[in-house]
Structure 1
Amino acid sequence: MRIFNRLESEVRGYIRSFPTIFTKARNAVLTDESGQEYIDFLAGAGSLNYGHNNPVIKKALIDYLDTDGVVHGLDMATTAKKQFLHTFEDRILKPRKMQYKLQFTGPTGTNAVEAAIKLARNVTKRQNVISFTNGFHGVSLGSLSLTGNQKYREASGVTLSNVHHAPYAGYFGPEVDTIAMLDKLIADPSSGVDHPAAVIVESVQGEGGLNVAGLNWLKKLEKLCRRHDILLIVDDIQAGCGRTGTFFSFEPAGISPDIITLSKSLSGYGLPFSMVLLKPEFDIWKPGQHNGTFRGNNMAFVTAAAALDHYWSDSKFQTSIEKKSQTMTTYLDKLVKNYPAAEMTRRGRGLMQGLAFKDPELADRITTLAFQNGLIIETSGGNSEVIKFLVPLTIEPENLLAGLDILEQALADTVNLLSTTDAEESEVTA
């Protein structure tokens, strides 16, 4: 690991949690240079919903490259883009009776968010945007202004403005209606909250700690936006592409966002690819007004189309996600019940679940021990108090259970160690 410590910036993060050199990967298993295998419950922070080196998607990419297909094309028309557009319309938009224009932005999720809020401000001629507590929307400057976590915000170096952070669903507990609070702030001309151009929301807050917006809460948020002539942006970068069970995380709520951002698993293969879906009436861009050298990744067009064709042409894949989600829910509920000393609760939806600990140090100890025993899993939340499960949606049932077993053993060992330490301290005190 010396070369990384010597040459790579101190900004590196995941390498500190998982200090080994990985060399191979297949579906839900990573292998390091020593041959040690690890079950992957991180999935590229949600960018590998279809697993590592998915054979169906990989074949489509290799076949495309073998024909000298266009790799870089700016925003020119290519066969790869044409095929993706047809496939996305046929597999995703038409079955859901959705009508959106597609904008291809720079390659990462934050590029899509930047485009979305810029567009909303141009459409409404207003500047203020409503974001939510514990929200995470990226770390480029506009997206960072929407992000709640202080760790990221303090690195900006400038004042982050034109955003009001409202309380998310359940922020004050289930008895407080945070939509009613927001409605009052917007309607009251003396609240100090400027009339917003848009509201941006995650149906499930990934980096924020797996907080879930209830379906009724999302419906009420949409009604609020319509009532006050505000655009509704759903950031589905981590929660989308099947992560919560349906292709879009907001589908069960039956809402119709004005703008949707997608990235992470959109390419189906871990290739950089981001996209904004916008209702046609809001497509007011002038040619080239929002651009980027790598807007529209032709290799990602190929892999994304292959993923959509293979996994979203019928309901089988969605059914498999539901079954695995139930397995995870049952297992995590069992852990909460069997280890009361850990003081934890289950959070999340679909295959985007986790365990929230009263003591953040426990979460860190457990994930560290789990890695030593062959499981890659991270924490999230404002204090890194939530162990977040982001398994590949294609994970084999046996690997899902094996990974959960490793996590339980790490949890048991940590709880037992704490109990022993507490007992020894009590003896010393006595």
Structure 2
Amino acid sequence: MVTTKEKNSMETFEKHESQVRSYSRSFPKMFNKAKGHKIWDTDGKEYIDFFAGAGALNYGHNDDKMKEKIVEYIMEDGISHSLDMGTVVRAKFLEKFSEVILKPRKLDYKVMFPGPTGTNTVESALKIARKVTGRTNIISFTNAFHGMTLGSLSVTGNSFNRDGAGVPLNNTVPMPYETFMDDDNSLDFLKSYLSDTGSGLDLPAAIILETVQGEGGINAASFEWLQEIEKLCRRYDMLLIVDDVQAGCGRTGTFFSFEPAGVKPDIVCLSKSIGGYGLPMAITLIKPEHDIWEPGEHNGTFRGNNMAIVAATEALTYWENDKLANSIQEKSKVIKTRFEKIVKDYPELNATTRGRGFMRGIACGEGKEDYAGKICEKAFEKGLIIETAGPSGEVVKFLGPLTIDNEGLNKGLDILEEAIEEVLNN
């Protein structure tokens, strides 16, 4: 029940804010406090968060150690804004990222700070790939989502998002993602386009992909498919760009989502949880031989968001050992098992399960697509924040904090199952 106070508050958004707002429609409450995997509204009602800021809060809300570091930095009059000038905290982050993340994985990348958003790291990746190769085309995939600015939209699959551009989106070629075709021939399709001189495809500069497509419906590529894509990139001298904005920073169980496949992208896009605390931050990782930017050739006023960098450096301590990764993998088994049981126990959904790690989905089958939205709406009424994904909003999408405890995880899953049962029985 929406109180008069909340109703008036929501009317404020209706009166003053653009029609483009979306999450305040899906979750029409006024929130004022959050901690760990929980959020509270202004009436004191508690919600379990299976949304985690669309993947920007992998470490939960208001992590104590990150908060302490940020407050300490502010109280000491630390530099908040510096563009890409040298600051102590930027140096610390670069050194720690190299020592904790790159070296143990035998990866060698230069770190670029673009503007502090996911779409900006993608834009920078597309630009440097074209600059390195001297070519213009980019191969992307069906159901991909890479951002809302024009370059990122050009490699995004969703027609609703693409239509918002208002101009033609050129110099990209969509190809079927591994899960897009029923006959498992997506690789053969791509190979034939690259090898056949009659295909009309000019040799692309790069291939960009998500190892698990988040907004596109939690479609997870197999490791074998990813390996074959990398081989094609090497054979045709194309760069491989992995967009790990949502699937990275531990979301699938390892820091980078591509690690288990053993591939080594030329460029990696990171944002969302790279900032740790939910503050805006993005980085683009570029193999040294491809780092041919001219100074200032891609820049942005807020690429020196030092408070985010302070939190990001502290967040890396989670990866100094295997404790978090092991915890993610163990709890992932719980999510997978519960989702599979739901699919089995509620055949009316005609559903399947998708995803990897803490990036999971229940995809409602043909003719049942509208159930996902109803389930998420009912779950919210019962105290669970969870959203939909997929081209038709047909997937119930789990994206909870990696740090959620077993009690919170199981309670949230119980609420989700109760919501499913109520929707099906009404």
Taking structure 2 as the reference length, the TM-score comes to 0.97
Give the corresponding residue for 1:47.
56
Mapped partners of 1:348, 1:122: distance in 2:
34
Give the corresponding residue for 2:269.
261
Q: Name the amino acid aligned to 2:57.
A: L
Q: Structure 2, unaligned stretches of length 5 or more?
A: 1-9
> Is 1:132 aligned to residue 141 of structure 2?
yes
Mapped partners of 1:380, 1:73: distance in 2:
37
Q: Name the amino acid aligned to 1:352.
A: M
Q: Name the amino acid aligned to 1:404.
A: L
Q: Name the amino acid aligned to 1:44.
A: G
Q: Structure 1, unaligned stretches of length 5 or more?
A: 418-430
1:214-271 CA distances to partner (integer Å, 9 max, x unpaired)?
0000000000000000000000000000000000000000001000000000010000
Mapped partners of 1:26, 1:18: distance in 2:
18
Q: Name the amino acid aligned to 1:196.
A: P
1:58-116 CA distances to partner (integer Å, 9 max, x unpaired)?
11111111211110001000001011001100110010011000000001000000000
Give the corresponding residue for 1:235.
243
Give the corresponding residue for 2:118.
109
* Residue 331 of structure 1, CA deviation: 0.6
Superposition map of 1:9-24 within 5 A: 9-24=18-33
Superposition map of 1:310-321 within 5 A: 311-321=318-328
Mapped partners of 2:338, 2:269: distance in 1:
32
Give the corresponding residue for 1:217.
225
Superposition map of 1:338-353 within 5 A: 338-353=345-360
Mapped partners of 2:64, 2:201: distance in 1:
51
Q: Which of 269, 273, 277 lines up with 2:285 in the alignment?
A: 277
Mapped partners of 2:26, 2:329: distance in 1:
30
Mapped partners of 1:253, 1:295: distance in 2:
31
Superposition map of 1:23-422 within 5 A: 23-173=32-182, 175-309=183-317, 311-358=318-365, 359-417=368-426
* Residue 186 of structure 1, CA deviation: 1.2
* Residue 171 of structure 1, CA deviation: 1.1
Mapped partners of 1:176, 1:367: distance in 2:
31
Mapped partners of 2:307, 2:177: distance in 1:
37
Q: Name the amino acid aligned to 2:389.
A: S
Partner secondary structure for residue 331 of structure 1:
helix
CA contact (8 A) 2:115 2:303 kept: yes
Partner secondary structure for residue 189 of structure 1:
coil
* Residue 14 of structure 1, CA deviation: 0.4
Give the corresponding residue for 1:421.
none
* Residue 180 of structure 1, CA deviation: 2.1
Mapped partners of 1:192, 1:299: distance in 2:
48
Q: Name the amino acid aligned to 1:294.
A: F
Mapped partners of 2:260, 2:115: distance in 1:
29
CA contact (8 A) 2:85 2:304 kept: no
Partner secondary structure for residue 66 of structure 2:
helix
Taking structure 1 as the reference length, the TM-score comes to 0.96
1:7-64 CA distances to partner (integer Å, 9 max, x unpaired)?
0000000000000000000011000111111100000000000000011111111111
1:167-199 CA distances to partner (integer Å, 9 max, x unpaired)?
0012112x4231221111012121011110000
1:284-303 CA distances to partner (integer Å, 9 max, x unpaired)?
10000111101131111110
Q: Name the amino acid aligned to 1:110.
A: T
Identity of aligned residues (%): 55
Counting matched residue pairs gives: 415
CA contact (8 A) 2:253 2:357 kept: yes
Mapped partners of 2:184, 2:419: distance in 1:
36
Instruction: Name segments (4+ residues, structure 1) moved above 6 Å.
Output: none
Partner secondary structure for residue 117 of structure 1:
helix
Mapped partners of 1:364, 1:163: distance in 2:
32
